[in-house]
Structure 1
Amino acid sequence: MEQRLIKLFRLLLLLSFIFVNVSLFSRPKYFVMPDKPENYSIDQYKLSTEKLYGIEKNVELFTLTFHNGTDSISKDKINANTQLNIILIAVLPDLLGSTDWKEINLDTIKDDIITTSVLNRLFRINTLSGLDDPYGPKTKYFDEYQIIRKIGKKYFASKHCLIQFFAVRNRPSIFQNVFGTINIEQEPLKITEMETIFKKRYPGTNFPPYTIGDTPYSYSSAIDYLRDRKEYLSKTIKFQNNEIGYQFWTYTNWHTHDHELEVDRGIDRFVYVPGKGIVGGSFDFYFYFHRKKLPIKYSDFLNNVKDEKVMIAPEFKV
């Protein structure tokens, strides 16, 4: 009897230890959005999800743009040859609730607040920017980091936050563009044009961007996952405000388990405007995962991919 009690006590102690460690590990880190950022700029846009995903919600985009150099640079001095580092923060809607932000007391999370140096470190790790940094399949972070913004005298934290990274490196297509590169000097290539090329090279297999819903047990597409992923320029867009946008789509597949978010798809189609940041895009990985809460079907998701449909900030009308 005594030995049973000892074993039970040890088991309970082990379970409590595991619970505490899991809780600590799962606690998000927070980045407080500054009123006046130093050495970088912030562009913010709100995108309506209604036309693309059939639900009246919003996605909020924050583009943090850094000069890829030792000195900061003002926006009016940025040109096509300027190398920029972009940290894209997307606050995705809470599809179960009515608000995407929750009030928070900074004193309760003071040990979990990070600075821009941490974000820049994540940028280097996930964009092949450091010679000694490892490179793997994960390049994006969902709900591991949240942002905080001040409204009046109160602070509010995002509920669902995606962070990903882009290096703006403009040069002719003959040069290599690794995953996570925005290059507006690429030769435009639509996703349907790539589909034709793919089917000639890999007959009998599914085109990777169309494999919505595939799992690790699906072997219907041919893709060298770490080597093949890439952002392709599709077209340029002339907006009514005279700005020029560059629309990209991402060459990658779907492959996670049904119960997992396909986080590393990230913003799989997006529109970039030099000097204004990322002003539109799509987040199929998130909305497809929550598709039972949406009025659109599998065929709608697939057609959105084929037609390269995106949400666009209202400031940028075609």
Structure 2
Amino acid sequence: MKKYLIQTVMNKSVLISFILLLFSQLVIAKTSYFFLDLDNDIESYSINAYTLNTKELYNIDKEVILYNISVNSKGNLHSSQYNNLIILFSVLPTFDESNSLWIELNDFPSTLDLISFKDLCILAENRILGANSPYFHPNNYQVITKKNGKYFKSKNAFVQFFLIEDLPVELNVPKSTIQLNQNHISIYEMEKIHDKYNLNYSPFNPFDYSNLFDNRFERFYLSKKLTIQGMNAYKFWSFKAWNSEIDDLDWDRGVDRFIYIPGKGIVAASLDFYFKDPLPKAYPRLPRRAIDNQTFKNNVISEKVMLAEELK
């Protein structure tokens, strides 16, 4: 009888703990919105927006919008800690019947949870430096825009933070850092190195669900330097785990491959995590690409990206 009572108490404790954990996650995982006023110049930050078409990479005709946000030199947040910061919001297609990225609002959404630019910079700093910070999920941060006097809320977006550096090539490159001065190495060349040494943390196959990847090796590698419309550009690829999420998309992968132009921001990208099948059951089971798995993998190895329509 005593043993039964102890077991019952233990079971109840486990159940209560699970419910409290679930409730805390629901409370913590709220959606915050960052307001982008596209009608007016903002003193604190500047915006470089680019439109990507998914046809050239995933063979479906959809749009992605990239908002590169950086601190203005004359703004009240101008300081050495934020000078090299880029906050990137990617607004994604939702594959619904409307084929729109936005929901139009009747008025300024004062009832929504809005995050200030200062708090967004602090969040970025904590994430980049690896400091202790509250629960963070990239998809919990959405965008509200004002354009031509009208307000719009993104249907599906996520945020990433980047630190731009031009340090001596001998120094280590931390993750989330776009280091412009480093030796060039392509995905193809890195894959050969991993094959040669039979390393078990190779993140090159998007469809390998058994691969164990050590996240200590995460970083952005510089693949090549190039010129786009007379501007110096840098092409990077992400050394990150695939299929790290069981019940959700791999939001932390973000822009897998991208091109950065100083003063412009990220002007080309791939978003393989979002367009890769199979999809988690929580999302609409609609085709997100019209290419087979081999073509998808070839795009990874050949480092294909979607270039901004504004730069074509």
What band does the TM-score fall into relative to the shorter chain?
Answer: 0.7 to 0.9
Gap change, CA 1:236 and 1:267, over 3 Å in 2: same
What's the CA shift string for 1:73-110, capped at 9, x where partnerless? 9xxxxxxxx95101011001111231110012456543
Are the aligned partners of 2:33 and 2:112 in contact in 1 as well (CA < 8 Å)?
no
1:24-173, aligned counterparts within 5 Å? 25-34=28-37, 35-66=40-71, 72=78, 84-97=84-97, 98-106=99-107, 109-128=110-129, 133-134=131-132, 141-142=138-139, 144-173=140-169
- Offset, 1:72: 3.4
Distance 1:158 1:71 in 2: 26
Distance 2:292 2:247 in 1: 18
Gap change, CA 1:201 and 1:259, over 3 Å in 2: same
Are the aligned partners of 2:108 and 2:151 in contact in 1 as well (CA < 8 Å)?
no
Are the aligned partners of 2:94 and 2:155 in contact in 1 as well (CA < 8 Å)?
yes
What's the CA shift string for 1:286-307, capped at 9, x where partnerless? 0114573421111121011000
Distance 2:27 2:151 in 1: 23
Gap change, CA 1:283 and 1:57, over 3 Å in 2: same
SS in 1 for 2:194: helix
Are the aligned partners of 1:30 and 1:146 in contact in 2 as well (CA < 8 Å)?
yes
CA RMSD of aligned residues (A): 3.0
SS in 2 for 1:110: coil
Which residue number in structure 2 is paired with residue 230 of structure 1? 219
Distance 1:315 1:189 in 2: 28
One-letter amino acid matched to 1:126: R
Which residue number in structure 1 is paired with residue 3 of structure 2? none
- Offset, 1:65: 1.4
- Offset, 1:41: 1.6
SS in 1 for 2:169: coil
TM-score by length of structure 2 reads: 0.80
Distance 1:281 1:93 in 2: 15
Distance 1:24 1:107 in 2: 24
Are the aligned partners of 1:140 and 1:165 in contact in 2 as well (CA < 8 Å)?
no
The number of aligned residues is 280
Are the aligned partners of 1:140 and 1:164 in contact in 2 as well (CA < 8 Å)?
no
Q: Is 1:252 equivalent to 2:240 in the alignment?
A: yes
Distance 1:265 1:285 in 2: 7
SS in 2 for 1:194: helix
What's the CA shift string for 1:105-128, capped at 9, x where partnerless? 456543511110121121012111
Distance 2:22 2:195 in 1: 49
One-letter amino acid matched to 2:167: R
SS in 2 for 1:127: helix
User: Quick one: percent identity of the two aligned structures?
Assistant: 34
SS in 2 for 1:124: helix
Q: Is 1:299 equivalent to 2:298 in the alignment?
A: no
- Offset, 1:214: 3.6
- Offset, 1:195: 1.1
Are the aligned partners of 2:44 and 2:76 in contact in 1 as well (CA < 8 Å)?
no
SS in 1 for 2:129: coil
Distance 2:24 2:133 in 1: 26
- Offset, 1:257: 4.5
Distance 1:91 1:57 in 2: 11
One-letter amino acid matched to 1:213: F
Distance 2:290 2:192 in 1: 31
Gap change, CA 1:287 and 1:299, over 3 Å in 2: same
Are the aligned partners of 1:213 and 1:258 in contact in 2 as well (CA < 8 Å)?
no
Q: Which runs of 5+ in 2 are unaligned?
A: 1-19, 280-285
Are the aligned partners of 1:54 and 1:296 in contact in 2 as well (CA < 8 Å)?
yes
What's the CA shift string for 1:166-194, capped at 9, x where partnerless? 00011122111100001111111111111
Gap change, CA 1:314 and 1:96, over 3 Å in 2: same
Distance 1:111 1:159 in 2: 14
Are the aligned partners of 1:125 and 1:135 in contact in 2 as well (CA < 8 Å)?
yes
- Offset, 1:224: 1.8
One-letter amino acid matched to 1:72: H
Gap change, CA 1:65 and 1:20, over 3 Å in 2: same
